[in-house]
Structure 1
Amino acid sequence: MTALGILYPGHSAEDDYPRIEQLLGSDIRVDLVHTDIGEDAHRVDALLQMGAPERLAAGLQQLRLSGAEAVVWACTSGSFVHGWDGAHEQVRSLAVAAGMPASSTSFAFVHALREIGARQAAVGATYPEDVAGLFADFLRAGGVEVTGVRSSGVITAAEVGTWGEEEVFALARAADTPDADVMLLPDTALHTVAHIPALEKELGKPVLTANQVTAWECLRLTDRRVNAPGLGALFTREPIVQV
């Protein structure tokens, strides 16, 4: 049994994770602990506080007791808002506090893009335009070419959590660009796991979503690979050998 530790802010789309656990198979357990979200706002100042070390550390004891083998901070905006170097420091501090390998959803996107060999990404963001731009900057720092960013301007994770299939597909269609070889949907507050295969079929390209890549990153940290077609191309493709 491999136990994955997820630190998830507040309550929005955490029910994606039981679905992920079911799709991964019987020997994978996903342990999720909620962190204090503070002010629910996609604003830089609020997001910096959301990912503060003391907020993340508060949930670690419960994950350690669960037997988690690695931990991922499941908040894209609460990691990339710190910038490339600051997000690295956030993950280093989390690993030290947790006593286990650690990462964040922002780095999960970069690592997943490398895994599938995708270099040109379109971004469909629920965030306001300035926050969506910071995610694009983060991706560029990781060597990704961003072909376009679609911002929906939603301020709160609570509102994003109410979106259904219609809104998710509309965002992906609006954000797609002909030169993109992958679509990114970066908000962990957005329910996406049930829609990934259908999104990939409609767009004709891999789709990476926040909760999907978070689980994949945690598996990567535990040296596990799982073939799970229900979770899209990321979980079915052979890894790209970097040269």
Structure 2
Amino acid sequence: MACTVGVLYPGFSAEDDYPRLEQRLPGVHLPVVHTAMPEDAHRVDALLAIGSDGILAEGARALGARGVDAVVWGCTSGSFVFGWDGAAAQVAAVRAAAGAPASSTSFAFVHAAAQLGVRRVAVAATYPAEVAEHFVAFLAHAGIEVVAISCRGIITAAEVGTLTRQEVLDFVAAHDHPAAEAVLVPDTALHTVAWLAELEATVGKPVLTANQVTAWEGLRLTGTHTPRRGLGTLFATAGPTGHPPPRTTPQATMR
């Protein structure tokens, strides 16, 4: 079944992951609208500005005019820094502006973990530690325990987007943890889609990456997700595989 999931993407960095996803998802269209980035900085005040309602509404209206089936705010840090309730309000505003079901990458990670029955994770974050701590708190609200976290400390999305395949593989492999059921890699500025199979083979467990879960979340919102190969365990899985799902998002994020 064909569907169109619009992605709101801040600035320019790893947006070419979405055409790569389209190539692997027949019938799925992932148009990207680039939202304004007043300052490219992984710093809380800058991220709050990037994710403000005024900036997102313009892009959401543009996607709504295209008749998309769902919209996802494709920015992890620009959603989780608002906290759980703030991120839910952010999504509700996007939904209202687009006139379509909406979510964000932060909630996508929560739903993806539920899909896999994952409750304990390692986080390999490209952000500075003070930003990554907000992601840990966001996951904790959903009942997901972070058993290990590592921070590369990169300030700008532009720099994150330059990391090579080997650098990404090495970074994720070095920061897995034996107690983790999956590794989460939460930056949509990071290229990962071309290397999902390698990432999972390297650590021997599911790896959830930001652009991957963003696309999957859009399919979940439209009710069109079916098992697909070539995009990691998440896309290959039909439904929850183990533990009861963690507490999910407020109703505002749902269809």
Matches within 5 A, 1:1-12: 1-12=2-13
* Separation in structure 1 between the aligned mates of residue 61 and residue 122 of structure 2, nearest angstrom: 37
- Structure 1: unaligned runs, 5 residues or longer: none
Moved over 6 A (4+): none
Query: Percent same amino acid among aligned pairs?
Result: 55
Q: Match of 2:9, as an amino acid?
A: Y
Match of 1:17 in 2: 18
> 1:134 offset after TM fit, Å?
0.8
Q: Match of 1:198, as an amino acid?
A: E
> 1:37 offset after TM fit, Å?
1.1
Matches within 5 A, 1:33-48: 33-48=33-48
Match of 1:226 in 2: 226
Match of 1:173 in 2: 173
Q: Would the aligned equivalents of 1:23 and 1:230 in 2 still touch at CA under 8 Å?
A: yes
Q: Match of 1:16, as an amino acid?
A: D
* Separation in structure 2 between the aligned mates of residue 229 and residue 201 of structure 1, nearest angstrom: 14
The alignment covers a number of residue pairs equal to 242
* Separation in structure 2 between the aligned mates of residue 66 and residue 19 of structure 1, nearest angstrom: 21
The 3 A distance-change label for structure 1 pair 210 and 133 is: same
Matches within 5 A, 1:1-243: 1-25=2-26, 27-240=27-240, 242=244
Pairwise CA RMSD of aligned residues? 1.1
Moved more, 166-175 or 152-161: 166-175
Q: Match of 2:171, as an amino acid?
A: L
> 1:147 offset after TM fit, Å?
0.7
Q: Would the aligned equivalents of 1:24 and 1:226 in 2 still touch at CA under 8 Å?
A: no
Q: Would the aligned equivalents of 2:37 and 2:50 in 1 still touch at CA under 8 Å?
A: yes
Structure 2 residue matching 1:58: 3-state secondary structure: helix
Q: Would the aligned equivalents of 2:61 and 2:97 in 1 still touch at CA under 8 Å?
A: no
* Separation in structure 1 between the aligned mates of residue 92 and residue 60 of structure 2, nearest angstrom: 14
Match of 2:248 in 1: none
- Structure 2: unaligned runs, 5 residues or longer: 246-255
> 1:227 offset after TM fit, Å?
2.7
* Separation in structure 1 between the aligned mates of residue 154 and residue 228 of structure 2, nearest angstrom: 31
Q: CA offsets per residue over residues 28-59 of structure 1, 9 Å max, x none?
A: 11111000011000000000000000100111
> 1:228 offset after TM fit, Å?
2.4
Q: CA offsets per residue over residues 123-173 of structure 1, 9 Å max, x none?
A: 000000110111111111111011111000000000001011111112101
Q: Match of 1:5, as an amino acid?
A: G
Q: Match of 1:150, as an amino acid?
A: S
